[in-house]
Every structure is written in C-alpha cells, then in structure tokens.
Structure 1
Amino acid sequence: MENIHAIKPGPKPKTPDGTPDERRRVTPPNQPRYPDLKPHIHKPKD
C-alpha cells in the first residue's frame, strides 16, 4: 500500500513588524495589473 503525503505550503511572508502575513493581498499600486474576477452566472436549475 502506498503512503499518501500532503503537500506542505511554503513559509508565509513576514510583515514589517515581524509577524507572519495571514494571507496574500494585492497592494493598491499593483491593483491595475490584476483585474477583478468575472461574475459567476448560474444556469437555471443548476
């Protein structure tokens, strides 16, 4: 039987005060390079 190993995420980036960042964000200067997500439209009975 094979062993299944989970994929481990890399280390989180540190914030300037030394605490780990909780999640990735798009900073306001970089926002124009990342367009908003398209709205998701559900089909009837879906």
Structure 2
Amino acid sequence: MINIKSIKPGPKPKKEDGTPDRRRRVTPEKKEDYPTLKPHKHTPGH
C-alpha cells in the first residue's frame, strides 16, 4: 500500500495585533517588484 503524505505548510506571519495573517499579500509599494501573472489559456476538454 502506498502511503501519501501532504506538504506541511510553514508558520503564518503575525499581524500587528498579534493574530496570524490568513494569507500572504503583496503590499502596494512592493507591487512593482513582482511581474504580473500570464493570462490563462483554457484548452477545451482538459
């Protein structure tokens, strides 16, 4: 029998009030450092 293990996520960053941030975000001042995503090309049947 094959034993499948999932990837364990790392710790979430904390917000200023101490609660963990639910997801990572790119702040507006850092936005120009990251390229935009390529447009998605949907192929029928997949």
TM-score when scaled to structure 2?
0.72
Deviation at 1:12, TM superposition (A): 0.3
Deviation at 1:38, TM superposition (A): 1.4
Superposed, 1:14-25 pairs within 5 Å as: 14-25=14-25
Larger Rg: 1
Deviation at 1:6, TM superposition (A): 2.5
Deviates more, 1:32-41 or 1:10-19: 32-41
- Runs of 4 or more, structure 1, over 2 Å off, are 1-7
Over the matched positions of the two proteins, sequence identity in percent amounts to: 66
The number of residues matched between the two structures is 44
Question: In structure 2, what is the Cα distance between the partners aligned to 1:10 and 1:35?
Answer: 24
TM-score when scaled to structure 1?
0.72
Q: Which runs of 5+ in 2 are unaligned?
A: none
Cα RMSD (Å): 1.8
